[in-house]
């Protein structure tokens, strides 16, 4: 089981985590919450009560919840394919604080 914390969240798998859009340049996406069910390089697919919603990563800020912990992540920090995240996400990992 991966250890999620404020620093490592940008390197780990996001599918299955609870998520909420806390800020976005598209006002209609602010407040969307649910569970991440899929991910592409540029979007997160979120299962909501009203059905799946696709959220653009680059214009949004997300709050991910794992257990009792929550982590705020700018969409640019996770703007990679899931299998590229470890390699390309290291620059954001190094900038984040615990």
Query: pLDDT (tens digit, 9 = 90+) per residue, 5-45?
Result: 888 888 888 999 999 999 999 999 999 999 999 999 999 99
**Count of domains observed in the chain:** 1
Instruction: Tell me the CATH number at 91.
Output: 2.30.30.210
pLDDT at 21: 98
Task: Write the burial class of residue 96 (CB in 10 Å: 0-12 exposed, 13-18 middle, 19+ buried).
Answer: middle
pLDDT at 86: 76
pTM here is: 0.89
Instruction: Identify the domain containing residue 47 by its residue range.
Output: 8-95
- For residue 90, is it within any domain? yes
- For residue 19, is it within any domain? yes
pLDDT at 4 > cutoff 80: yes
Structure tokens at 48: 């909501």
């Amino acid at each position: 089981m991966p250890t999620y914390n404020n620093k490592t969240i940008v390197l780990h798998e996001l599918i299955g985590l609870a998520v909420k859009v806390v800020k976005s340049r598209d006002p209609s996406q602010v407040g969307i919450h649910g569970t991440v069910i899929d991910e592409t390089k540029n979007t997160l697919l979120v299962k909501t009560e009203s059905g799946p919603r696709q959220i653009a990563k680059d214009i949004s800020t997300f709050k991910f919840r794992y257990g009792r912990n929550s982590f705020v992540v700018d969409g640019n920090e996770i703007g990679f394919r899931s299998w590229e995240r470890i390699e390309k996400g290291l620059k954001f990992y190094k900038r984040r604080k615990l």
